[in-house]
Amino acid sequence: MNIKQAFLLAIKSLLSSKMRSFLTMLGIIIGIAAVIILVSLMNGLSKSILDSFEDMGTNLISVEVMGRGSNRSVTFTEMQALMAENPELISGVSPNVSVGVKVKKDTESLTANCIGINEDYYDIKNVKMASGRFINYLDVARRQKVCILGAYEVTKLFGGINPLGEEVKINGDSYTVIGTLTEKADAEEGSADDTVIIPYTLATRLSGNGTISSYYISASSKDTVNQASALVKAKLYQAFQSEDYYMVMSSGEIIEEINEMMGIMGTVLIGIAGISLLVGGIGIMNIMLVSVSERVREIGIRKSLGGRRKDILGQFIIEAATTSIIGGIIGIILGVILSYGAGKLIDLTAVPSVTAIIVAVSVSAAIGIVFGYLPASKAAKMHPIEALREN
């Protein structure tokens, strides 16, 4: 008996009792759909996180200095020296001075997160300007009171009208708006669009303490990130003699960490969904056992006509596998549809993975074969005379 024959027979047998077939498949359908949904949403989540890191630049290395009192520190000049000595590894260094400020335009005012940087920041963070120009070397060196506004500030203070050349008050001082940033996140408060950028030389004054404790560094290329990061770490270790007083993170490391975390989360979630697949498999085994005992006579007839053990075994295993695969396919369709639905609901683009779909089909086929084996071998071992005697 060939496989095609057995497959057609299996389809026939499934169609002859649709309700029972559907209920048998239900466990598999739910299990596979759950796996597909979880994988799609996980993929969507990790893609959206990774995308935002890519936006920041994959060459990025961020340095946070916690310090250990006043005697030891790494100054911006030292960082620049490091870059000058290693131009093949480091292509830019910018201080990152973060201050909460009050920004005012006429009667409108708001509090914003203001960051002080230098001209290198533009390339390091892959800044996208909507209009105007970025802060340049002269602005920094001469402490020019210029600023760049995020989309939220433009909307809130200027009602969306191009503010180039206008003046705003930052903590009471007048600053000229020389550029605006491209909107990234719906121009909402507290989002990536809620930001004011000024020369770091001014920001250190606003922050009230003259030191710089955070830097953005860009490696010369994606491939030298790790080397550059090691170099920076070495420099900091030299200054502090301990790893406890600073933190160096490269985007590569962050991405790796996120991937690892997502991987663990995914495994756990898929494991949970896998339990439902197991239950589905047991359901198939159960129904196949019933089906075998209902068809003892058929088995007897087949045997008397020359059906060997492997023919009967094959027939029932293929029937179980077909049930399971059809359930798997319905599960995939349902899973893909539901994951887009759920993605919409929680504002995430679901990314169904082809690998997950292929794995799901194979797993459902395997479940059918594994759980179909016991009932099938029960059928195959029957004695033809006894089976024929059954009514």
Partner 1 sequence: MIKLKDIYKIYQTGEDFVHALDGIDLHIDEGEFVSVIGASGSGKSTCMNIIGCLDVPTSGSYFLNGSDVSTLSDDELAMIRNRTLGFIFQQYNLISKLTVLENVELPLIYRGVQPKERVRMSMEALERVGLEGRSNNMPSQLSGGQQQRVSIARALAGKPKVILADEPTGALDSKTGMEVLALIKELHKEGNTIVLITHDNSIALHAQRIVRLSDGKIIEDKPVIDRQVQ
Binding site for partner 1 (CB under 8 A): 1-2, 5, 9, 12-13, 16, 297-298, 300-311, 384-385, 388
Shortest spacing between CB 16 and partner 1, in angstroms: 6
Output the six-digit token pair for 296.
């003892």
Smallest separation (angstroms) from partner 1 to the CB of 2? 8
Shortest spacing between CB 32 and partner 1, in angstroms: 28
- Please give the backbone phi and psi of residue 108, each rounded to the nearest 5 degrees, phi first: -80, 135
> Which of residues 56 and 292 has its CB atom nearest to partner 1 in the complex?
292
Which CB, 47 or 309, lies closer to partner 1? 309
Q: Tell me whether residue 222 or residue 308 sits nearer to partner 1 (CB atom).
A: 308
Given the complex with partner 1, which of 5 and 267 has the nearer CB atom? 5
Q: Is 175 left (phi over 0), alpha (psi -120 to 50) or beta?
A: beta
CB closer to partner 1, 128 vs 310: 310
**Nearer residue to partner 1 within complex by CB, 5 or 182:** 5
Q: What amino acid is encoded at 53 in this protein?
A: F
Could you tell me the two tokens for 119?
A: 């001209």
Work out how close the CB of 20 gets to partner 1 at its nearest, in angstroms, rounded to a whole number.
14
Shorter beta-carbon distance to partner 1: residue 33 or 382? 382
Q: Please report how close the Cβ of residue 296 comes to partner 1 at its closest, in angstroms.
A: 12
Write down the least CB distance from residue 370 to partner 1, Å.
24
d(CA 39, CA 275): 15
Q: What is the 3-state secondary structure (H, E, C) of 5-29?
A: HHHHHHHHHHHHCHHHHHHHHHHHH
Q: How far is the CB of 385 from partner 1 (least distance, A)?
A: 5
Q: Name, in order, each residue with C-beta under 8 angstroms of 162's C-beta and a sequence gap of 6 or more.
A: 131, 180
Which residues in 40-127 belong to E strands, given as ranges?
60-65, 90-95, 97-105, 108-117
Distance CA 349, CA 302 (A): 53
Q: Given the structure tokens 């003259």, which residue do they identify?
A: 210
By C-alpha distance, which of 255, 259, 252 is closest to 225?
252
**Is 253 or 311 the residue whose CB approaches partner 1 more closely?**
311
Closest to 64 measured CA to CA, from 238, 236, 257 = 236
Question: How many whole angstroms separate alpha carbon 308 and alpha carbon 306?
Answer: 6
Closer to partner 1 at the Cβ: 34 or 312?
A: 312
Cα–Cα distance for residue pair 343/355, rounded to 1 Å: 19
- CA 349, 354, 359, 361 torsion: positive or negative? positive
Minimum distance, C-beta of residue 288 to partner 1, in the bound complex (Å): 16
Q: Assign residue 218 a region: left if phi > 0, alpha if psi is -120 to 50, beta otherwise?
A: beta
Two structure tokens written together for 360: 């799901």
Provide, rounded to whole angstroms, the least separation between the CB of residue 7 and partner 1.
13
